[in-house]
Amino acid sequence: MTPRVYLERDGGIAVIVIDNPPINAGSAAVRQGLMAAIETLRNDDTLEGAVLIGAGNTFIAGSDLREFGQPLTEPQLPAVIAAIEACGKPVVAALHGAAQGGGFELALGCDARVAAPGTVVGLPEVTLGIIPGAGGTQRLPRIVGIPPAIRMICSGERVLAAAALEAGLVDLIATGNLRSAAVAHARQLKGQKRLVRDRQVPPASSADVATATTAAPQAGKRRPAVQAAIDAITATAQVGFDDGLADERAVFQRLRVSREAFALRHQFFAERESAKHPSLGEATARPVERVAVIGAGTMGSGIAIAALDAGYRVLLLEQDAAALERGTGRIHAHYASRVQGGKLSASAAAACEARLQTSLDWADLASADLVIEAVFEELGVKQQVFQRIDALARPGAVLASNTSYLDLDAIAAATSRPHDVIGLHFFSPAHVMKLMEVVRGQSSAPDALATGLAVGKRLKKMPVLTGNAFGFIGNRLYAAYRRQCECMVEEGAWPEQVDAALRAFGFAMGPFAVADLSGLDIAWRMRQAQAATRDPQARYVHIPDRLCEAGRLGRKTGAGYYRYPEGDQGPQVDEAVHALIAQARADKGLQPRELGDDEIVRRALLAIVNEAALLLAEGVAERATDVDVVLVNGYGFPRWEGGPVFWARERGAAALQEDMLWLAQLSGPGFVTGDLRHLLTPEN
Ligand code: NAI
């Protein structure tokens, strides 16, 4: 086995190199190697100090998360840090790339930190449902003070080297060679220990502490790890370093095996896997620098912003001068508000806008490496647009459609190069939403799809590969969920009860408030289009149609499932809707019954799980865990619940089979049950 840690000598300084590619994760082998190296440092009289440095392009960028669900192997990280503190000689951490989580805690346990420009440091543990467990909550406040430590740990924020220097998190930025700078620093410290544990916690006003302890849980969605982190940080000034350290470790050990931590780790791995696609073989992405966006509407302008933010040169193309002006205005207003809100510097905003070219002249398309179409959702219009693109785009350019529901193959067929055509399905607002579906048509070339995935990554999106089927993965799952919620309303629940139960479960919004926000007419038009082919025996809930027929199209008409009075008061329960629903039940001769919140949540989740099983069987979704990535990143499913597949696996095969029989019975005729086997088998 390659040694994970090795010791080199630079005069009297030991250079301890951590070599555990690709990210130098702090595994058991790394900890053992560090322990042995520190032992050598302590016992070897010819050594006066040491530098800890990562091989390759990073320090320890994080921990080996797979260890966290099992009994931990010795030595554990706190013991390694304790050995550094007790070795009697100065140890300098040389940071480059990323020093996060356990990696940054290790650095905080050293006598000094020297960083290369561009390094990021951070303690993102709460985003994984745990708290820093190797002194992060005790050492960080001794450097920055309690309120900033709360902000940094509870948000899991990544701090860049320059800001880290200002905050005292690093002592020096190495302008030249990092290793030499760190060695020189270690020499300067000869004979001294400068431990963070020996510092006093800087005083903070109780008002500042109160502000930080109130704001952090709100920003952190009131998850238990956030509160536990606050408690550990604020305790340190009262209980002292050693007791604080022991308490922190106990909380870490408890949280790392909590259900929430398992769920968040599941989501973490699901997201990491979603970018890997064995079905694309060795295909590599085509180079993309210039992106053309066609259509400057809601989506087109959002996509343009996302591409500008990612450093692409963007051409925004329209057919209509007024629409182009409106779209350009939206982009400009967006950057102006980010500058005004202090989120972006004026020069960075100007640089983004300088990369934007707007045009009504289609000949400009010729220089684009990637064309993203975001025009009206009509097949005929899209086919015409793709014919024009085909005539003008350079050979090898990737041609993408942002369609939500149309058949990608029918769009690709309008071109002479269907292998270059893929779907890039963004979600609204396109510059904000993380999810991006990359749609594989029957002719899409693997390298065109790989390009879509690579562009998604550069746009800082969560790209998920999907087959070409009506609604792709996300909208199809969501439609099944919404239909089940409509069934429950027909049976006796009120929309506000369904919304409240699902919000209490953790969804960002309830399905009926979401429907009102997006407008009820889109789904209505779709149901009308499908009316001729619908199975007349299948259960059909008429309530949404009745709302639309009454002119209640959602927020935009001031009424939908809720009322929206003038002035932004949010959704108001409306007796008229109750009456309309009661009438719809009576028309079918249904006796309303009470549905408990537990039934509501269970049926809503089971409907998603069942649809996921169907998508997997049809090959639309390649991997069960992609379903979790889609719902968490595109539909407000609570991340800390892991996703519907995590939930289903936790229930287990036997209980789930029984649940599905129950769901099928309640859902009535036309409900198609999926085969759960594939969904229940973990991929790795
Ligand atoms: P929109 O109506 O706001 O914008 C469409 C724009 O395309 C208009 O500015 C129009 O002038 C322009 N356009 C129409 N025909 C054109 C042509 N032949 N050549 C050049 N420009 C043309 O529509 P929106 O909401 O931006 O949607 C665009 C596409 O994105 C649709 O396919 C839609 O299904 C898809 N989409 C929409 C989402 C949404 O929430 N609005 C979410 C995901 C996808």
2: CB partners within 8 A, 6+ apart: 19
Q: How far is the CA of 403 from the centre of ligand 1 (A)?
A: 9
Contact 629, 462 (CB under 8 A): yes
**DSSP track, 221-238:** TT-HHHHHHHHHHHHHHH
Q: How far is the CA of 295 from the centre of ligand 1 (A)?
A: 6
Q: How far is the CA of 382 from the centre of ligand 1 (A)?
A: 10
User: Ligand 1: which residues within 6 Å by Cβ?
Assistant: 294-300, 318-320, 323, 374-377, 381, 385, 402-404, 426-428
Q: How far is the CA of 297 from the centre of ligand 1 (A)?
A: 5
> Ligand 1 pocket: which of 294, 299, 521 to mutate (most atoms <8 Å of CB)?
299
Residues annotated as catalytic (active site), given as ranges: 105, 125
> Ligand 1 pocket: which of 293, 294, 376 to mutate (most atoms <8 Å of CB)?
376
pLDDT digits (tens, 9 = 90+) for 595-652: 999 999 999 999 999 999 999 999 999 999 999 999 999 999 999 999 999 999 999 9
Per-residue confidence (pLDDT) for residue 185, from 0 to 100: 98
Q: Enter the tokens of residue 21.
A: 């590619």
Res. 315: pLDDT tops 80: yes
Residue with tokens 């900890």: 31
Half-sphere exposure of 341 (CA within 13 A, CB side): 7
| CATH fold of 5-257 | 2-enoyl-CoA Hydratase; Chain A, domain 1 (3.90.226)
Among residues 624, 626, 627, the alpha carbon closest in space to that of 676 is found at 624
Res. 55: pLDDT tops 50: yes
Q: Give the relative orientation of helices 146-155 and 206-219 as an angle to the nearest 10 degrees.
A: 0
Choose the CATH number for 284-468 among 3.60.20.40, 3.40.50.720, 3.40.50.300, 3.40.190.10.
3.40.50.720
ipTM value, please give it.
Answer: 0.97
- Using alpha carbons, list the distances in angstroms from residue 260 to 229, 257, 659: 15, 8, 23
Q: Give the relative orientation of helices 653-667 and 597-618 as an angle to the nearest 10 degrees.
A: 100
Q: Sheet of 13-18: strands edge to edge?
A: 5-10, 13-18, 49-54, 91-95, 112-115, 172-173
* d(C-alpha 610, C-alpha 660), whole Å: 8
Res. 1: pLDDT tops 60: no
Contact 57, 99 (CB under 8 A): no
Q: Whose CA is nearest to atom 30 of ligand 1?
A: 374
* d(C-alpha 43, C-alpha 20), whole Å: 25
Domain boundaries, the chain: 5-257, 284-468, 475-680
pLDDT tier, 445 (very low <50, low <70, confident <90, very high otherwise): very high
- Nearest ligand 1 atom to the CA of 317 is 20
Q: Whose CA is nearest to atom 43 of ligand 1?
A: 427
- Nearest ligand 1 atom to the CA of 401 is 32
Q: Enter the tokens of residue 498.
A: 């369904």
Strands 5-10 and 313-317: unpaired
Res. 684: pLDDT tops 50: no
Among residues 633, 636, 608, the alpha carbon closest in space to that of 270 is found at 633
Identify any residues that bridge with 462 across adjacent strands, giving them in sequence order.
Answer: 435
Q: How far is the CA of 374 from the centre of ligand 1 (A)?
A: 5
* d(C-alpha 353, C-alpha 336), whole Å: 10
* d(C-alpha 495, C-alpha 450), whole Å: 42
Per-residue confidence (pLDDT) for residue 420, from 0 to 100: 98
* d(C-alpha 330, C-alpha 334), whole Å: 6
Query: What's the predicted TM-score (pTM) here?
Result: 0.93
Q: Whose CA is nearest to atom 40 of ligand 1?
A: 428
Phi, psi of 541 (to 5 degrees): -90, 120
Q: Enter the tokens of residue 328.
A: 């350009």
Q: Enter the tokens of residue 208.
A: 């500042």
pLDDT digits (tens, 9 = 90+) for 371-408: 999 999 999 999 999 999 999 999 999 999 999 999 99
> Ligand 1 pocket: which of 305, 375, 630 to mutate (most atoms <8 Å of CB)?
375
Tell me whether the CATH fold assigned to 5-257 matches the one assigned to 475-680: no
* d(C-alpha 68, C-alpha 53), whole Å: 24
The three-state DSSP-derived secondary structure of 568-580 is CCCCECCHHHHHH
631-664 burial string, b = 16+ CB within 10 Å, else e?
bbbbbbbbbbbbbbbbbbbebeeeebeebbeebe
- Nearest ligand 1 atom to the CA of 320 is 11
Average pLDDT, the chain: 95
Q: How far is the CA of 480 from the centre of ligand 1 (A)?
A: 25
- Nearest ligand 1 atom to the CA of 298 is 26
Q: How far is the CA of 430 from the centre of ligand 1 (A)?
A: 12
Tell me the percentage of the chain whose pLDDT exceeds 70: 99
Per-residue confidence (pLDDT) for residue 3, from 0 to 100: 66
Per-residue confidence (pLDDT) for residue 277, from 0 to 100: 86
* d(C-alpha 209, C-alpha 148), whole Å: 9
- Nearest ligand 1 atom to the CA of 296 is 9
Among residues 462, 470, 452, 457, the alpha carbon closest in space to that of 404 is found at 470
Among residues 620, 606, 613, 596, the alpha carbon closest in space to that of 658 is found at 606
- Nearest ligand 1 atom to the CA of 295 is 7
Per-residue confidence (pLDDT) for residue 276, from 0 to 100: 84
| CATH fold of 475-680 | N-(1-d-carboxylethyl)-l-norvaline Dehydrogenase; domain 2 (1.10.1040)
